Amino acid sequence: MSTTRSQLPRPPREDLLIAAAGLVGGVAMWALGLFNNPRPPLGGGWVLLPLAVMAMAEALRRTAPSAALAFGAVALAGDLVTRSLLATIVMFSDVVYAAVLYGGPRLSRAVPPASAALTAAVTVGTLAAVRDPQALLVGFVCGLVTVGPAWTGVIVRDHRNAAAAERLRAEQTALLAEMDRVQAVTAERSRMARELHDVVAGHLSAIAIHATAAQSLDDRAATGDALAVIRENSVQGLAEMRRLIGLLRTAGGDEEVSAAPTLDGLEALLAHARRHGAAGGLSFALRDERSGDPLPAPVELAAYRIAQESLTNALKHASPGEVTVALTSSGGEGEGDGGGEGALTITVTSPCDRRPGPRAPGSGAGLVGMRERAELLGGAFGAGPVEAAGGTRWEVRAVLPLGESARNAADGGSGGDGTRRRGGA
């Protein structure tokens, strides 16, 4: 029994006040003799019974609108066969309004046409019974009591549904905006991590290699040379860090584009590698077999960074021998300006035998960054040992598409994980 009671919703305080006000008003009308039907079938105090039932229906108008409408219809029928009180009729119109507004979808759809049909039936029946045009007033009153509240409830319910839909749409828009913001922040953090790694990894790797060599040598002159190299790379690394921090602090994007390195700087990159690799027996060569067409800026930046990271790994891990950087382009005409599809292939090979002497440790982040740069452009990346005529060599190969597909991939792509790797800064 207690479970059943707990499942019944308690009427809101406002509904109880409305029911009490209607009941008190009806009793006051009965006491003053204000009736609507001068010659009812039932006289006396019978009119108070429909009033009490209608007041109960008013109390249930929001918690049980279907039951309230049923009780209200019975109470209205009883009121019409008694002396009839205006308070009972007014409360019934409010019950009809509440049934449309707070009832379920089926009830709210059924009440307006049912009220219209009831009004039409009452009008036609009254005309047929009394054969007097004044009977149309009965139909008007019936429509005022039923059709008017029903369609008012429809209008208010539609406005509430529209407002709820707009709130839901606003919440969904806010959620999507937050998801986009999180994705944008994550993508920017990844881009900053790649850029920071590529900017300073080469200098720090050279510092680590020469510091390790200085610790293992007793020659004072060689130690001095190593310290000079360490100082040079420290200064250059700090300069690169300051440049990157300055770019991050600027609000616009023009500075970043103008400061981005291009493939024209490969010769300077190789010259820097030759200075640090000569002590380890490394030589460096560049084979540029590209066409003369300009490359899209994202492709050129990615190719430069891949070459830079590959040369850094070669300085850290390669055996004595020649390190080769090869650039080739393929595809239809117009690939350079983005009008057609083509590809830029960058291949860096280095000796892969075991290297004697000191080497710098690596975490593998370099290969991950190179793969992400290639996949952001919709390209392909691979790194691993290959068999060649002169022995086993380590090959880094990236294929970067040109044209509109590269720009689209750079705008909306996402990075991936590296596969087989040999190390990296």
Would you state the pLDDT for residue 110?
92
Would you state the pLDDT for residue 95?
94
Q: Which amino acid is at 424?
A: G
104-142 residue pLDDT tens: 899 999 999 999 998 888 888 888 877 777 778 888 888
Does the predicted model carry a pTM greater than 0.95?
no
252-265 residue pLDDT tens: 544 444 456 788 88
Would you state the pLDDT for residue 313?
83
Q: Which amino acid is at 190?
A: S
Spell out, as residue ranges, where the chain has pLDDT lower than 50.
Answer: 1-6, 253-258, 333-340, 413-425
SS (H, E, C) the chain: CHHHHHHCCCCCHHHHHHHHHHHHHHHHHHHHCCCCCCCCCCCHHHHHHHHHHHHHHHHCCCCCHHHHHHHHHHHHHHHHCCCCCHHHHHHHHHHHHHHHHHCCHHHHHHHHHHHHHHHHHHHHHHHHHHCCHHHHHHHHHHHHHCHHHHHHHHHHHHHHHHHHHHHHHHHHHHHHHHHHHHHHHHHHHHHHHHHHHHHHHHHHHHHHHHHHHHHHCCCHHHHHHHHHHHHHHHHHHHHHHHHHHHHHHCCCCHHHHHHCCCHHHHHHHHHHHHHHHHHHCEEEEEEEECCCCCCCHHHHHHHHHHHHHHHHHHHHHCCCEEEEEEEEEEECCCCCCCCCCEEEEEEEEEECCCCCCCCCCCCCHHHHHHHHHHHHCCCEEEEEEEEECCEEEEEEEEEEEECHHHHHHHHHCCCCCCCCCCCCC
Cβ atoms < 10 Å from Cβ of 260: 15
The span from the CA of 116 to the CA of 211, in Å, is 95
- 67 neighbors 54 (Cβ within 8 angstroms): no
Would you state the pLDDT for residue 413?
47
Would you state the pLDDT for residue 1?
44
Would you state the pLDDT for residue 49?
93
